[in-house]
Amino acid sequence: MGSPRPLIACGIVLGVVLQGLLSSCALPEVKPFTDATVQLHAAVDISGRVVVKEVQALDQGQAAAAVLAQSWEMRVKLLDALVDYARSLQAIVDAGKKGQENAEKLGAAIKTLGVATNLIVPGGGAAVGVATDIASSFYAQIATVLAARSLEEALDASQPGIEIIARHLSEDIADLEEILLDAVQEQMDAEEEKYQLELGFRLELEKQRKALSGAGIDLHAGNTTQIVEKLKTIDALLAITDRWYLPLQARLVALRQRRDTSRGLIVACQAGIEQWAASHTTLANTVRQRKIADVDELVQTAIDIREHIKKVRDL
């Protein structure tokens, strides 16, 4: 085995390089983007389903609903891919954070390897231990640097795609909202049209009642009883029409409520797209700006390096 001096030199060079890298490197919080993606996935999926259902409810809506369902499925698959992408970013960050633990494990494995080879091929023992101590100490920080760089590359490469996707999804959701409004109105109009004759009759009754009430009761004309009787007859007829009119109104109210609830989800989804795209941009910017790493961590790294160099000198 050679002299330990090259190891010392190596350690110093690594230290300088790493300090340079670390002074501009930290791993950001990816969770907000992951959460935003998961939420967007759910919102897009459910929005599509409710609108497909409304189109299916139309007499002539089956074919259109099928096309919409098929197209929307592609959005859901895209969101599946985006959730996985967000999780892969999280995996990179986690890998960077896990660096210390795994570097120690690797160091221990290399030392064992050193001992094993030294038993067969003499000359490879002590220096290996020191070298691996240095390497594992550095690797904890190298992992952070690698993770930050990998994250930056992934985010930068994805940013243009994210922007186009956000724009497309935003247009899709705007179209979906229009489809919802059209489909529900068509259902409401069709409901009322089914009762065209009945509604016409009721409208006529209401018109007559208003006319009688508006005319007022003229005591001198002696028509009071006649008017009251007419009003009673109209009220009785209106009460009969209530049998179909009230359930019709209830159905219309239910349709209106369903439309408003679905529209609320779609509006939230639209806002979600904006936030989702913004959180990716923020994440990319954070990584690009490379916020300064924790100073205590850097100081500790420097102490560790000095201790390892001392060990090499004492050999």
Partner 1 sequence: MSNEFSDITGVEAWAKKLDELLGVAEQAAEANDGAARRDIRTRLKDFILHSRPESPEISRLDTIASETRTALAMESITERIAAIAKRSSDLVRFTKEFQARTEAGHSRAHLITLEPARKVVATTTATIQALKELQAELSTVQDEPLLRDILQVLSQLQSIRSEIESA
State the Cα–Cα distance between residues 169 and 175, nearest whole angstrom.
10
Minimum separation from the CB atom of position 14 to partner 1 (A): 11
Number of Cβ atoms within 10 Å of the Cβ of 259: 19
Q: Is 67 in the site for partner 1 (CB under 8 A)?
A: yes
Residue choice 29, 35, 156, 189 for contact with partner 1 (CB under 8 A)? 189
Q: Is 26 in the site for partner 1 (CB under 8 A)?
A: no
State the Cα–Cα distance between residues 79 and 83, nearest whole angstrom.
6
Count interface residues toward partner 1 (CB under 8 A). 85
Binding string to partner 1 for residues 230 to 259, with x set by CB under 8 A, is what?
Answer: ------------------------------
Minimum separation from the CB atom of position 4 to partner 1 (A): 11
Q: Is 64 in the site for partner 1 (CB under 8 A)?
A: yes
Place of tokens 């499925």: 73
Minimum separation from the CB atom of position 221 to partner 1 (A): 26
Please name which of 42, 84, 81, 77 lies closest in space to residue 273, comparing C-alpha atoms: 42
* Alpha carbon 96 to chain centroid, angstroms: 24
Minimum separation from the CB atom of position 172 to partner 1 (A): 5
Contact indicator for 154, 28 with CB cutoff of 8 Å: no
Minimum separation from the CB atom of position 272 to partner 1 (A): 17
Closest to partner 1 by CB, 42 vs 106, is 106
Place of tokens 């859901």: 76
Tokens of 310: 């001392």
Residue choice 150, 262, 270, 301 for contact with partner 1 (CB under 8 A)? 150
Residue burial 260-291, b: 16+ Cβ < 10 Å; e: rest: eebbebbeebbebbeebbebbbebbebbeebe
Closest to partner 1 by CB, 110 vs 231, is 110
Closest to partner 1 by CB, 42 vs 181, is 181
Please name which of 313, 314, 296 lies closest in space to residue 8, comparing C-alpha atoms: 313
Minimum separation from the CB atom of position 220 to partner 1 (A): 29
Contact indicator for 232, 205 with CB cutoff of 8 Å: no
Q: Is 61 in the site for partner 1 (CB under 8 A)?
A: yes
Q: How large is the angle between the packed helices 99-120 and 126-194, nearest 10 degrees?
A: 140
Closest to partner 1 by CB, 58 vs 231, is 58
Residue choice 18, 22, 40, 176 for contact with partner 1 (CB under 8 A)? 176
Applying the rule CB under 8 A, the residues between 86 and 145 that interact with partner 1 are 87-89, 91-92, 94-96, 98-99, 102-103, 105-106, 109-110, 112-114, 116-117, 119-121, 124, 128, 131-132, 135, 139, 143
Q: Is 156 in the site for partner 1 (CB under 8 A)?
A: no
Q: Is 84 in the site for partner 1 (CB under 8 A)?
A: yes
Q: How large is the angle between the packed helices 196-215 and 126-194, nearest 10 degrees?
A: 70
Q: How large is the angle between the packed helices 126-194 and 62-97, nearest 10 degrees?
A: 160
Residue 204: what residue type? E
Q: Among the candidate windows 56-64, 252-260, 279-287, 297-305, which touches partner 1 by CB under 8 A?
A: 56-64
